[in-house]
Amino acid sequence: MAAGGSTVFGKGAYVLVIALREPVVLPLGGIVHQLSAGHYLYAGSAHGPGGIDARVRRHFRREKSLHWHVDRLTTVAASIHAFAIEGGSECEIVTRLSGRSGARHPIPGFGSSDCRTCVSHLLRATGERMTSHICEPADGDHV
pLDDT at 127: 64
- Among 2-11, 13-22, 63-72, name the one with the lowest average pLDDT: 2-11
Instruction: Count the residues in the chain.
Output: 143
Q: Locate the DSSP E strands across 21-108.
A: 24-28, 31-35, 38-46, 79-86, 103-104
What is the residue extent of each domain of the chain? 12-138
Q: Which pTM does this prediction carry? A: 0.84
Strand order across the 12-20 sheet: 79-86, 12-20, 38-46, 122-125, 103-104
Higher pLDDT residue, 141 or 121?
A: 121
